[in-house]
Amino acid sequence: MTQQFKPGDRVEWHSSGGTSQGEVEEVITKPTEFKNHHFEASEQEPEYRVKSTKTGKEAIHKPEALKKNNRKD
């Protein structure tokens, strides 16, 4: 089963610059346009809008790209 997240969860993911950390801002459960990209999210296959704690930039990721991060830093 794929891990599920909720807004406020601290997560990390791999990016071109290494590992990024941030927070889940939104659970996306319907097809969405974001930064000129189309995401086919659904209730059965949600995607997550996350915000980087380092840069403040937002991105959308599939759950398999995210990992829970319980660190408080």
How confident is the model over 13-25, as pLDDT tens digits? Answer: 998 888 999 999 9
**pLDDT for residue 73:** 55
Mean per-residue pLDDT, 27-51: 97
Delimit the domains of the chain by residue range.
10-68
pTM: 0.90
HEC assignment per residue over 7-73 = CCCEEEEEECCEEEEEEEEEEECCCEEECCEEECCCCCCCEEEEEECCCCCEEEECHHHCEECCCCC
**Looking at the predicted structure, is the pLDDT value of residue 1 above 60?**
no
